[in-house]
Amino acid sequence: MGWSTRLARAGLVQFARLIGLSKLKHMSGAPLYVVNYHSVANADVDPYINRNRYRTLAEFEEDILFYKRRFRILGALDVKEILATGKEIPTDAVVLTFDDGLRTNYDSFVPILKKHGVTGTFFLCSAFIDNRDLHYGRKANLLRQTLEQRKDAKLNLAVRAYLGDHDLFRESVDRSISAIDYSKKEHLEKLADIVGINFGAYLAQHQPYLTSTQIREMIETGFTIGAHSIDHPRFAELTQDEQFEQTVGSVRSIVEEFSLGYRLFAFPYGDDALETGFFERIRPHVDLTFGMGGFVQDPVDFNIQRGDIESTGLPVADAFRYRLLLAWVHNLRRPERR
């Protein structure tokens, strides 16, 4: 974030404090507040992922206490039930959601949620459950990290030659590997062979994702589970048929594997790229879907937008008011979405 953006945001945060939570809730016009988390600060085995801003455990617990104090915490299934029966959504409803199905969720979030008697919904990628496969971005990170640590000129030349031969070279080896997108992810397997990395061995050793045993235990405790695509592509890079398969395919797989009586889905990287026709296509196959557009109402009745709290780096009350203020600004600019 540049200094001017930081300054503008600091101004908005101050402004939001002056307005206050109750008024902002009213102004935002949001029907409910669905918040989203992924992981815990410095808890990941991937050093590049650790550069992302996450809550520390203490901050996360503060967030939970804030929600408990100021809101009524509902589960995603409560929302499904309310929407299905046409009842009014309580005006102070918060829903907690967690994306990516990382083991840190089980190790860190679940104990805190249980301690405070709070429910939440966890969105998992069907291909990563039980550490069967690794996200392509994490594969790229592991390649970059290994090359950086080895500092082996000959190895670097071999990698550079491969990148050059496949029209993947951009500025530097590190840049090139980080720029490999979903459609070219097979090249990461070839590069791993050159570098001598075994993704399967890495997965077995570090277990970055939840296991089905942990997931079953979470379901028995009362948490809900949804799908987050098969292997976390950017939907903007996919055809509509591929988007459909990533959505409906992963929902089916998770519903079957865990015998769920509901079908929930959260779009990886949000739902900006998706057309109305796509939502009509998936409508018969899902109960609720979730985007990352903030605390705003979506024109699609079963698609619910969520607000990111963890990456703001702000205390939860400020983060929450800031998101509400952004939702109000969003509604002013796009009145047709109301």
Which residues contact Zn ion (rule: CB under 5 A)? 99-100, 268
Please report which residue ranges of the chain form alpha helices under DSSP H: 3-19, 21-28, 57-70, 76-85, 103-104, 110-115, 136-150, 153-165, 173-178, 186-195, 199-206, 212-221, 240-244, 250-257, 276-282, 316-333
Rounded least distance, CB 84 to Zn ion, Å: 26
- Pairwise CA distance, residues 311 & 307, whole Å: 10
CB-closest chain residue to Zn ion: 99
Rounded least distance, CB 148 to Zn ion, Å: 25
Beta carbon nearer to Zn ion, 31 or 226: 226
Beta carbon nearer to Zn ion, 129 or 324: 129
Beta carbon nearer to Zn ion, 99 or 287: 99
Question: Which residues are CB-contacts of 24 (< 8 A; sequence separation ≥ 6)?
Answer: 16, 321, 324, 325, 328
Torsion sign across C-alpha atoms 127, 130, 132, 134: positive
Pairing of the two strands 72-74 and 224-227: unpaired
Residue 330 neighbours by CB distance under 10 Å: 18
Rounded least distance, CB 300 to Zn ion, Å: 20
Rounded least distance, CB 166 to Zn ion, Å: 27
Beta carbon nearer to Zn ion, 71 or 209: 209
Rounded least distance, CB 233 to Zn ion, Å: 10
178-188 burial: b if 16+ Cβ within 10 Å, else e: eebebeebebb
Q: Among candidates 22, 93, 54, which has minimal Cα distance to 308? A: 54
Beta carbon nearer to Zn ion, 31 or 268: 268
Rounded least distance, CB 49 to Zn ion, Å: 11
Rounded least distance, CB 318 to Zn ion, Å: 24
Q: Are 216 and 258 in contact (CB under 8 A)?
A: yes
Question: Which residues are CB-contacts of 277 (< 8 A; sequence separation ≥ 6)?
Answer: 240
Beta carbon nearer to Zn ion, 122 or 202: 122
Q: Are 226 and 238 in contact (CB under 8 A)?
A: no
Question: What is the identity of the amino acid at 83?
Answer: L
Pairing of the two strands 33-37 and 93-99: parallel
Beta carbon nearer to Zn ion, 63 or 100: 100
β partners of residue 227: 124, 265
Rounded least distance, CB 99 to Zn ion, Å: 4
Beta carbon nearer to Zn ion, 38 or 323: 38
Q: Are 95 and 121 in contact (CB under 8 A)?
A: yes
Rounded least distance, CB 86 to Zn ion, Å: 31
Beta carbon nearer to Zn ion, 268 or 307: 268
